[in-house]
Amino acid sequence: MKKMSCWLTAICLMLYAAHAGTPKRSAAMVVAGAPTDPKAKAVLKVIGVAYSCWNTSNGMYFAPGDFVVDSTGKITAQRFCNPPGYSDRYLTIQLRWKGDLITGAVLTGQGGQLPITLTWDKSPRVTGVKIGYLMNFDWNVNYDDTGAIAGFAARQLVNNEKQFVWTVDWTGDRVVKQTAYENKGKKTWIRAVVDRIYTDTSVITDQYVYGTDKSNTPKNIVSRGHGEYMKPAAHSYTVIPAPGQNQTSIFNDKDQKIEYRMVTGNGINRTLYTYKDDKLFREINTTTNLQGDFASREIHVYFTIDAPASAPDWEKTIGLYHFDKTGDLTYEARDGKYRRKVNGVWTDWAFLAY
């Protein structure tokens, strides 16, 4: 099973956004709690759990959030909190309605949209889910005797020989375990496991990835991950990957990220985001040690604005600017060229190679 990182998901979403229209929307509002709309909630649960299983090999947790309803009270979407580090605050599953029928859905986030195709039995109940542009995401849905989601099975073989299968364990209405299997002929082995523990303030995940065609014993673990995802607050979301470490995203009232902070055993990395006319204008990334001593700063300006001539370029001009631990500007790239400061002296401008 291939690990899908955040940046690759973003690329998939942007590729689809380049040639996909935005679904038509009626007047909508976000509501907390659980509106009464069992059909919509059942479909959203299938898609949400399937997407979570697809992320089993990286262990990320997308906290279910509020529903979006139209003026009639019909659920049109559900928001899920992205883990800190994502550019968007929410991943949104938006349903496509035609009258009283759900004809499909769209996964929105990271600057783009991915189409979701659903298949149904006569119940009607979702029996298949496919998310376009996500690798090998074309699955059958399996249910147990109670009607709960038991897991998923990929409809297509990888390299004409391997099939991926996921099982889901529940406690009440909560997923407590996801297990990813690889099948090759008559042989089956566990590829990845994610365990979840729910507390009043957080969801704790432990994830293990095993070597292909190996037994799920400790010696065959190729990677492991841990995360304590704190209950999302009004304007922030934090995950604790290990004692003494944390990652936090902070948002404004428009759900725009204004700060990302990562604390590790080596120091603190803090990024501040500013916007002009609701467009990301500048990122300021500062690194300090654990005692707060300044180490370095990088400023990325995304577009040029009008400003006094006396204002430094990193406050007004599109480009990339690096500062050393003394706060001195040592590198700048703008207008297709760059230069460095070496031993206190600037080099000549040189053209950037793309």
Least confident of 56-60, 188-192, 326-330: 56-60
**What integer pLDDT is reported at residue 157 of this predicted model?**
83
Q: pLDDT digit string (tens) for 100-136?
A: 899 999 999 877 899 999 999 988 899 999 998 888 8
Strands 337-342 and 350-351: antiparallel
- 327-343 pLDDT, tens digit per residue, is 999 999 999 999 999 99
How does pLDDT run across 247-264, given as a tens digit for each residue? 999 999 999 999 999 999
Task: Specify the higher pLDDT residue, 87 or 47.
Answer: 47
- In the predicted model, is pLDDT for residue 231 greater than 80? yes
Per the CB < 8 A criterion, the answer to whether 55 and 4 are in contact is yes
Distance CA 96, CA 67 (A): 14
As given in the structure block, the two tokens for residue 305 are 């604005």
Six token digits for residue 142: 């399996």
Q: Tell me, what's the pLDDT at 301? A: 98
- Integer CA distances (angstroms), 312 to 318, 320, 337, in order: 12, 13, 17
Q: Does residue 30 register a pLDDT over 90? A: no
Q: Which helix (H) or strand (E) holds 12?
A: helix 6-17
Average pLDDT of the segment spanning 10-22: 40
Question: What average pLDDT does this structure show over 40-59?
Answer: 92
Q: What is the pTM (predicted TM-score) of this model? A: 0.84
- Collect all residues with Cβ–Cβ distance below 8 Å to 284 and sequence separation of at least 6: 271, 272, 274, 297, 298, 299
Q: How confident is the model at residue 3 (pLDDT cuts 50, 70, 90)?
A: very low
For 263-301, how does the pLDDT look when each residue is reduced to its tens digit (9 = 90+)? 999 999 999 999 999 999 999 999 999 888 999 999 999
- Closest alpha carbon to 141 in 170, 103, 168, 174: 168
SS3 48: helix
> Closest Cα to residue 208, out of 219, 192, 195, 197?
192
The yes-or-no verdict on residue 41 having pLDDT over 90 is yes
> 325-329, long-range: CB within 8 Å, 24+ apart, which pairs?
325/294, 325/295, 325/296, 327/294, 327/297
**pLDDT (0 to 100) of residue 27:** 53
Give the contacts of 213 (CB within 8 A, at least 6 positions apart).
182, 184, 187, 189
| Per-residue pLDDT at 28 | 65
Res. 42: pLDDT tops 90? yes
